């Protein structure tokens, strides 16, 4: 327990589908360690099971951040979700990974080579960005981190074998398409701010190891947007594709 009431407020916001109007100063996480603890308090108090993670970084040399995603918020394409299940809908096109086998906690950090050797699959991912806070995005970043780093849902294509797709694949600027009702919404300049998203995976594995968590092979790990966040205002169809990996579809009703 963190001593903060923020976890309880986040649980109530999810259960009652009601925004958190304001935050007391004492509710703001003082540091990332507390924000990560609140993430897991929320999972425990909602009896959620981890089905995915979102990780990212503002630049290749920046410290990564991440958040576990409730398995009930993870969908395989084609997905059909009501707009009313979210407070707001912004969509981001990403690449997701799975590991071929479990990576349990250990005393020494996992090396980059150990983590890369364990990658088993790749998929196209569409994250729905949402927040339980009324004042989002004008909000303390640590509060956003505590709130599952603004995750609303995750939609993925089928997984493709990593050892088939990765050789020769352009992880910095893949060929992709993102459309809303058939109209392109991908920006002219594409790219993941973290650079090669695979470089985020050692951070996640060691973050979980420090928390005593086994990285499970059924977890889907999405690794940051290539397209930025695009706000969707109402019922529509979002289609995304990344060359050599696959495509997905989300219908918002």
- CATH code for the domain of 226: 3.90.850.10
Task: Tell whether 147 is covered by a domain.
Answer: yes
Q: How confident is the model at residue 3 (pLDDT cuts 50, 70, 90)?
A: low
Q: How confident is the model at residue 22 (pLDDT cuts 50, 70, 90)?
A: confident
Find the range with the poorest average confidence among 15-19, 25-29, 150-154.
25-29
pLDDT tens sequence across 180-201? 999 999 999 999 999 999 999 9
Task: Tell whether 61 is covered by a domain.
Answer: yes
Task: Tell whether 29 is covered by a domain.
Answer: no
Q: How confident is the model at residue 152 (pLDDT cuts 50, 70, 90)?
A: very high
With vertex at residue 56, the alpha carbon angle to CA 219 and CA 9, rounded to the nearest 5 degrees, is 75
pLDDT surpasses 70 at 1: no
pLDDT surpasses 80 at 2: no
The count of structural domains within the chain is: 1
Task: Tell whether 243 is covered by a domain.
Answer: yes
**Which run of H or of E encompasses 222?**
strand 220-225
| Residue 194 vs residues 61, 70, 88, 156, 226: alpha-carbon distances, Å | 8, 24, 25, 20, 10
Expressed as residue numbers, the domain containing 120 is: 49-252
Round the average pLDDT of the chain to a whole number and report it.
96
Contact 67, 53 (CB under 8 A): yes
Contact 202, 34 (CB under 8 A): no
Task: Tell whether 158 is covered by a domain.
Answer: yes
pTM strictly above 0.75 = yes
C-alpha–C-alpha distance, residues 11 and 41, integer Å: 9
pLDDT tens sequence across 59-103? 999 999 999 999 999 999 999 999 999 999 999 999 999 999 999
Task: Tell whether 2 is covered by a domain.
Answer: no
Task: Tell whether 135 is covered by a domain.
Answer: yes
Task: Tell whether 33 is covered by a domain.
Answer: no
Q: Tell me, what's the pLDDT at 26? A: 85
């Amino acid at each position: 327990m963190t001593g903060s009431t923020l976890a309880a407020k986040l649980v109530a916001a999810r259960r009652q589908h009601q925004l958190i109007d304001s935050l007391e100063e004492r509710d703001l996480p003082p540091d990332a360690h507390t924000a990560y603890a609140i993430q897991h308090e929320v999972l425990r108090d909602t009896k959620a099971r981890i089905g995915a993670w979102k990780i990212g970084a503002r630049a290749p040399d920046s410290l990564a951040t991440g958040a576990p995603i409730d398995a009930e918020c993870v969908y395989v394409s084609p997905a059909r979700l009501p707009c009313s299940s979210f407070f707001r809908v912004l969509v981001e096109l990403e690449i997701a990974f799975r590991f071929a086998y479990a990576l349990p906690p250990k005393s020494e950090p996992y090396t980059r080579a150990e983590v890369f050797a364990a990658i088993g699959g790749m998929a196209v991912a569409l994250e729905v960005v949402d927040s339980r806070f009324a004042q989002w995005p004008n909000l303390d970043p640590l509060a956003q981190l505590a709130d599952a780093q603004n995750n609303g849902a995750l939609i993925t294509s089928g997984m493709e074998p990593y050892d088939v797709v990765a050789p020769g694949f352009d992880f910095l600027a893949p060929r992709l398409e993102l459309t809303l009702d058939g109209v392109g919404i991908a920006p002219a300049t594409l790219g993941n701010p973290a650079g090669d998203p695979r470089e985020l995976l050692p951070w996640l594995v060691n973050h979980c190891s420090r928390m005593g968590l086994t990285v499970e092979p059924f977890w889907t790990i999405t690794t940051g947007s290539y397209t930025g966040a695009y706000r969707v205002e109402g019922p529509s169809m979002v289609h995304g594709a990344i060359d050599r990996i696959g495509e997905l579809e989300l219908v918002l009703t």
